[in-house]
Structure 1
Amino acid sequence: MKHLIAQITKFGIVGVIAAVIDFGILNALVKFAHMNNVAAGTISFLIALAFNYILSMKVVFTHRDDMAKWMEVFIFAVSAALGLVMNDVIIWLATVDMPTDAVYTMHSKYVLYTNIGKVVATVVVAIWNFIIRKVFLDAPNSEASASRQERSLSHRIGMWSLNHNPFGSRS
Structure 2
Amino acid sequence: MSIQRCAWAGNDPQMRAYHDEEWGVPERDSRALWEKLMLDGFQAGLAWITILRKRDAFREAFRGFDPEVVARFGEEDVAWLLGDAGIVRSRSKIEATIGNAKAYLAMREAGEDFSEFVWGMAGGKPIMGDGVHLPVKSPLSEQMSIALKKRGFKFVGPVIVYAWMEAVGIVDDHAAACFRRTGLPQPG
TM-score, length-scaled by structure 2 = 0.27
Question: Which is richer in helix?
Answer: 1
Q: What's the TM-score once normalised by structure 1's chain length?
A: 0.29
Larger radius of gyration: 1
